[in-house]
Amino acid sequence: MSYVDDVLARVIAKNPSEPEFHQAVTEVFESLRPVIEANEDFYKREAILERITEPERMIKFRVPWVDDQGQVQVNMGIRVQFNSAIGPYKGGLRFHPSVNQGIIKFLGFEQIFKNSLTGLPIGGGKGGSDFDPKGKSDREVMAFCQSFMTELCKYIGADEDVPAGDIGVGGREIGYMYGQYKRITGLYEGVLTGKGLTYGGSLARTEATGYGLVYLTDELLKCHGESMEGKTIVVSGAGNVAIYAIEKAQQLGGKVVTCSDSTGWVYDPDGIDLEALKEIKEVNRARLTEYKKYRPDSEYHEGRGVWQIKCDVALPCATQNELLIDDAKQLVANGVMAVCEGANMPTTLDATQYLQENGVLFVPGKASNAGGVATSALEMSQNSERLSWTFEEVDSKLQSIMVNIYHNIDEAAKRYGKEGDYVTGANIAGFEKVVEAMLAQGIC
Ligand code: NDP
Ligand code: 2IT
């Protein structure tokens, strides 16, 4: 058995009941095969694949809090500090009832390569809780966040581990957690990113993931003789990433006709009304059923279904495994040109393969959604120098980071004879820097 297959089998056996982690490792290992097999004895002796799939540290803790009825509630909290070869651990916190160890490990593993692709000095980490902020009062969310940080604060720091937002964690949650960190440690430091602008946040961080996704997509299209101008775009999700992807796509002349949440989806053939969407989701924290009140001619459907709408570009921006093989077939049948992932691992392995085999330009999330964490690293820089940069300054750095990521993954794919395979290109380019740093630092 080859070294790659041997370690993959052991990772799966050693981490049972973690299908998302197996999926993420399988995708990365398949891409790395040509790199590893060109020097198999060396990588095997160094146990590089074993080291890169075993988190440096994993912290799991109880999060007790009191709800508005006086009832004590208990959630699980977790932080996976996966790899610090190129910088302090960096990655978001996800609050969603589906959160478990396998999901946080897949996200932390992906984050290692994503953070490497940004070109900035940040290692890979991820964390979260099975707490569901939906339907909770602000006081309940604050009670939960304070309890969560009371434990987490022992393991993080501006030069150690810097969490941020992800699903279910936005400005409100970051604010409550920052306040609690400061109370306990007495430190006013850049321990979290995605902070509010009055206490150390960076301009353009809110927009960064969605904007970055569209900057990269636009560069991809331009390098293939196209652009976002005049394209019909299908987006899934209606959260932070989706909203700002829609905003930038519209600014570049694209027409976005869908969005979705966990209960249903909207088709608005005239183009999504972004102000309405922001009011529904950012201000009222309401369901997409509300959208029809703003746009009576739009359609609302229960369940999932955005991928059946004919489009040129598809941007999955909700969650993992939301674009399945049948969706990929439908997209191809409808003539889709490009699929770029805003979410983390939204496309299943077989759907990815189908899209690639049918000539669709496909960019994996670890490259195309890296603008969020890249701008978090810019927030860290601003905190360190105790200065704030203008929106234009941060936005233009974000833009060049995304353009560079596209060219780096394109070049890495070409170097291994896989032109146009951006999955392989992203995994190899991300891996190369991390491995060089790991080897330089000895056995650790
Ligand atoms: P938000 O919580 O702001 O929004 C998530 C959106 O996806 C909501 O519309 C939500 O619907 C929907 N959604 C979540 N879970 C499910 C589910 N199980 N089934 C169907 N729909 C679902 O999160 P973000 O926009 O921040 O994150 C979206 C994706 O982007 C995630 O994969 C995240 O890991 C990734 N990402 C986020 C970055 C960031 O900076 N925020 C950076 C890079 C990647 P509902 O409101 O009904 O729950
Ligand atoms: O998946 C991700 O890259 C994020 N949720 C953002 C992480 C960060 O540290 O900004």
- Cβ(244)–Cβ(391) below 8 Å: no
Tell which residue, 159, 188, 178, 149, has the closest CA to residue 61: 149
Same domain as 265, residue 126: no
Tell me the pLDDT of the chain averaged across its residues: 98
Rounded to the nearest angstrom, the distance between the alpha carbon of 375 and the centre of ligand 2 is: 9
Same domain as 335, residue 273: yes
Q: Which ligand sits nearest to residue 259's alpha carbon?
A: 1
Alpha-carbon dihedral sign for residues 193, 248, 265, 103: negative
Is the minimum distance from the CB of 210 to ligand 1 under 6 angstroms?
A: no
Question: How is residue 308 annotated by DSSP?
Answer: G
Domains contained in the chain, number: 2
pLDDT digits (tens, 9 = 90+) for 291-314: 999 999 999 999 999 999 999 999
- Going by alpha carbons, the residue nearest to atom 31 of ligand 1 is 343
Kindly state the tokens that stand for 221. 């299209």
Is the minimum distance from the CB of 165 to ligand 1 under 6 angstroms?
A: yes
Same domain as 281, residue 170: no
Q: Which of 94, 129, 262 to mutate to test the pocket of ligand 1 (most atoms within 8 A of CB)?
A: 262
pLDDT digits (tens, 9 = 90+) for 188-216: 999 999 999 999 999 999 999 999 999 99
Last residue of a domain, one of 338, 359, 380: 359
pLDDT-based confidence at residue 138 (cuts at 50, 70, 90): very high
Q: Is residue 1 part of a domain?
A: yes
Atom of ligand 1 nearest to the CA of 319: 32
Quote the CA–CA distance of 227 and 207 in Å, as a whole number: 21
Q: Is residue 425 part of a domain?
A: no
Q: Is residue 168 part of a domain?
A: yes
Quote the CA–CA distance of 163 and 300 in Å, as a whole number: 35
pLDDT digits (tens, 9 = 90+) for 6-50: 999 999 999 999 999 999 999 999 999 999 999 999 999 999 999
pLDDT digits (tens, 9 = 90+) for 231-254: 999 999 999 999 999 999 999 999
State the residue for tokens 């409808």.
334
pLDDT of 437 reads: 98
Atom of ligand 2 nearest to the CA of 107: 1
Q: How many residues does this entry show for the chain?
A: 444
pLDDT digits (tens, 9 = 90+) for 348-392: 999 999 999 999 999 999 999 999 999 999 999 999 999 999 999
Q: Which ligand sits nearest to residue 345's alpha carbon?
A: 1
Same domain as 285, residue 137: no
pLDDT of 233 reads: 98
> Between the CA of residue 356 and those of 226, 340, 380, 420, 439, what are the distances in Å?
18, 12, 36, 9, 33
Q: What b/e sequence results for 58-90 when a residue is b if at least 16 CB atoms lie within 10 Å of its CB, and e otherwise?
A: bbebebebeeeeeeebebebbbbbbbbbbbbbb
Mean pLDDT within 158-186:
98
pLDDT digits (tens, 9 = 90+) for 428-441: 999 999 999 999 99
Write phi, then psi, for 128 (nearest 5 degrees).
160, -160
pLDDT of 287 reads: 97
Is the minimum distance from the CB of 239 to ligand 1 under 6 angstroms?
A: yes
Same domain as 243, residue 326: yes
- Cβ(126)–Cβ(92) below 8 Å: yes
Q: Is residue 129 part of a domain?
A: yes
Same domain as 149, residue 219: no
What is the domain extent for residue 95?
1-187
Give the domain CATH number at 284.
Answer: 3.40.50.720
Q: Which residues contact 190 (CB under 8 A, 6 or more apart)?
A: 158, 162, 200, 379, 380, 383, 384
Mean pLDDT within 212-239:
98
pLDDT digits (tens, 9 = 90+) for 8-19: 999 999 999 999
Q: What one-letter code names the amino acid at 421?
A: D
Is the minimum distance from the CB of 369 to ligand 1 under 6 angstroms?
A: yes
Report percent pLDDT > 90 for the chain.
Answer: 100
State the residue for tokens 């088709």.
267
- Going by alpha carbons, the residue nearest to atom 10 of ligand 2 is 373
pLDDT of 413 reads: 98
Same domain as 259, residue 133: no
Rounded to the nearest angstrom, the distance between the alpha carbon of 373 and the centre of ligand 2 is: 5
126 in catalytic set: yes
Tell which residue, 145, 130, 212, has the closest CA to residue 178: 145
- Residues in contact with ligand 2 by the CB-under-6-Å rule are 90-92, 114, 164, 166, 193, 344, 372-373, 376
Q: Could you tell me which residues are beta bridge partners of residue 61? A: 77
State the residue for tokens 């979705």.
260
Same domain as 44, residue 150: yes
Q: Is residue 354 part of a domain?
A: yes
Give the domain CATH number at 164.
Answer: 3.40.50.10860
Q: Is residue 308 part of a domain?
A: yes
Last residue of a domain, one of 314, 340, 359: 359
Full-model pTM: 0.98
Is the minimum distance from the CB of 237 to ligand 1 under 6 angstroms?
A: yes
Same domain as 352, residue 219: yes
Q: Is residue 420 part of a domain?
A: no
Kindly state the tokens that stand for 17. 């009941």
Last residue of a domain, one of 187, 218, 240: 187
Strands 123-129 and 264-267: unpaired
